[in-house]
């Protein structure tokens, strides 16, 4: 009983925390988080981006803006540390606005746990464009949620920082350009005093969309000259052609795609549903991409002709890549080895493996995001919390949909934004469910009175 009172008092203390103390608390949590991960974790992709940052010569195999920012951060403090701080600052800034958006609701303090949820925590120290993309969108969505739920007219500084951070997040991840329209439309809704006005909503959206995407393309062209263009979209196309070729046991490629090491047996041996790397990278790649505009045009036409002739094999391949990324867990091989050596009994091994799947894989989160979107649609007229609930989760689902068709690997890092958005919207879902239940009770009461 005493423990219950102490817990209640502690919860009350955190729920009634002042704005100044909240800021101090978030800074403290952010410093603890950063110190545990310092100076950030690099992988081959991030090492490649860091090499571009050091040289000042950018290509667009990875979107260049992250390397461009990293170049100047590195001059202040060498290494990935400052970029880690930037990304974690976006994460904890998002938590700040999430908490403020639901004030004075006492449960708002539960947002403090978002950065420490296993699916969010596991990648938060990685110096990846996926992480910068996820935290940028989370920050923008949290500020928009705060403005929406408080019905605060967006000030010029709000609009400036929303567009700036959204621009950064969109610039550093290829698929982000398909997700940004949701938040840009949300901004238009805020600028229109939180009303959907058919005659003005779409014109305002266009006034935001056109300069945003024009600038997006201009910055990429400015940072990456034509000689440094990699045209990496081709790897997706040759990956699709490889999958259909393996399925039909017939090579279906333009002649220039086949390298000197190509053979049908080599293709089968190198092909897998995890990534294109084994086919197209390394010292002896089986396939290569087009090196001229003419070859790239031929490849695109050949790809389109092949997938329209064999749509079942194409879709099977695409779903295989996506499902692998959603079902597998981070560092799956290392986790499996650890469990095999530490779990003496098969039952315990299966139990721990299932626990890791629930805590770390993204499949269940995607299902939850879908349910949250449906919930938001049902409660759209019952509570303003339905708006951030829908925008957060539809953004995550949009990323999943885009990856289905535009991914050259299956990896949980690609759907990191999906888990961040879903876990940041649990309290909005709680409010939406409460509103729906209240409405359902009201309807039941009215029917009962009508019968009387």
* pLDDT per residue as tens digits for the range 79-129: 999 999 999 999 999 999 999 999 888 889 999 999 999 899 989 999 999
Name the helix (H) or strand (E) containing 392: helix 386-405
Last residue within a domain, chosen from 327, 362, 381: 327
pLDDT value at 3 more than 50: no
Average pLDDT over residues 351-368: 80
How many angstroms separate the CA atoms of 426 and 439, rounded? Answer: 20
Q: Do residues 318 and 405 touch, judged by C-beta distance below 8 A? A: yes
* pLDDT per residue as tens digits for the range 15-44: 566 677 888 999 999 999 999 999 999 999
Cis peptide before 39 (omega within 30 of 0): yes
How much is the pLDDT for 447? 62
Cβ burial 380-398 (10 Å sphere, 16+ → b, else e): eebbbbbbbbbbbbbbbbb
Last residue within a domain, chosen from 186, 203, 226: 226
How much is the pLDDT for 359? 76
pLDDT band at 10 (very low <50, low <70, confident <90, very high): very low
| Domain membership flag for residue 424 | no
pLDDT band at 55 (very low <50, low <70, confident <90, very high): very high
Last residue within a domain, chosen from 170, 196, 226: 226
How many angstroms separate the CA atoms of 384 and 151, rounded? Answer: 10
How much is the pLDDT for 103? 87
Residues 200, 310 share a domain: no
Instruction: Enter the pTM of the model.
Output: 0.90
Residues 127, 238 share a domain: no
Phi/psi at 292 (5° precision): -135, 165
pLDDT value at 312 more than 60: yes
**Average predicted confidence (pLDDT) for the chain:** 88
Residues 136, 24 share a domain: yes
* pLDDT per residue as tens digits for the range 127-152: 999 999 999 999 999 999 999 999 99
Number of domains in the chain: 2
| Domain membership flag for residue 434 | no
| Domain membership flag for residue 152 | yes
Residues 193, 167 share a domain: yes
Domain carrying residue 39: 12-226
pLDDT band at 290 (very low <50, low <70, confident <90, very high): very high
How much is the pLDDT for 4? 47
């Amino acid at each position: 009983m005493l423990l219950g009172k102490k817990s209640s008092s502690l919860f009350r203390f955190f729920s009634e925390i002042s704005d100044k103390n909240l800021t101090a608390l978030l800074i403290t949590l952010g410093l603890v988080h950063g110190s545990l991960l310092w100076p950030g974790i690099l992988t081959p992709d991030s090492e490649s981006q860091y090499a571009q940052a050091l040289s000042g010569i950018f290509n667009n195999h990875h979107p260049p803006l992250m390397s461009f920012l990293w170049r100047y951060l590195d001059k202040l403090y060498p290494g990935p540390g400052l970029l880690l701080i930037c990304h974690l600052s976006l994460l904890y800034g998002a938590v700040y606005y999430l908490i403020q958006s639901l004030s004075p609701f006492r449960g708002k303090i539960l947002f403090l746990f978002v950065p420490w949820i296993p699916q969010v925590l596991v990648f938060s120290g990685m110096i990846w464009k996926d992480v910068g993309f996820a935290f940028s969108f989370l920050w923008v969505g949290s500020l928009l949620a705060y403005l929406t739920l408080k019905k605060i007219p967006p000030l010029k500084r709000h609009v400036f920082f929303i567009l700036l951070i959204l621009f950064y997040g969109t610039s550093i991840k290829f698929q982000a350009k398909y997700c940004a329209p949701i938040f840009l439309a949300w901004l238009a809704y805020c600028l229109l005093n939180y009303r959907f006005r058919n005659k003005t909503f779409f014109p305002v959206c266009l006034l935001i969309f056109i300069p945003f995407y024009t600038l997006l393309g201009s910055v990429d062209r400015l940072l990456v000259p034509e000689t440094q263009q990699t045209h990496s979209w081709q790897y997706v196309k040759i990956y699709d052609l490889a999958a259909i070729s393996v399925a039909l046991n017939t090579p279906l490629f333009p002649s220039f795609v086949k390298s000197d090491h190509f053979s049908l047996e080599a293709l089968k041996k190198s092909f897998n549903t995890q990534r294109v790397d084994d086919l197209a990278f390394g010292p002896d790649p089986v396939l290569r991409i087009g090196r001229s505009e003419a070859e790239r045009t031929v490849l695109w036409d050949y790809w389109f002709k092949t997938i329209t002739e064999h749509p079942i094999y194409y879709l099977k391949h695409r779903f295989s890549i996506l499902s692998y990324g959603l079902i597998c867990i981070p560092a799956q091989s290392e986790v499996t080895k650890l469990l095999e050596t530490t779990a003496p009994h098969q039952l315990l091994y299966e139990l721990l493996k299932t626990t890791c799947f629930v805590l770390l894989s993204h499949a269940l989160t995607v299902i939850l995001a879908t349910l949250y979107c449906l919930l938001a649609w049902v409660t759209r007229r019952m509570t303003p919390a339905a708006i951030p609930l829908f925008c957060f989760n539809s953004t995550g689902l949009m990323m999943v949909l885009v990856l289905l068709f535009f991914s050259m690997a299956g990896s949980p890092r690609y759907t990191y934004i999906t888990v961040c958005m879903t876990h940041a919207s649990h309290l909005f879902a709680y409010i939406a469910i409460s509103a729906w239940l209240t409405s359902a009770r009201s309807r039941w009461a009215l029917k009962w009175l009508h019968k009387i």
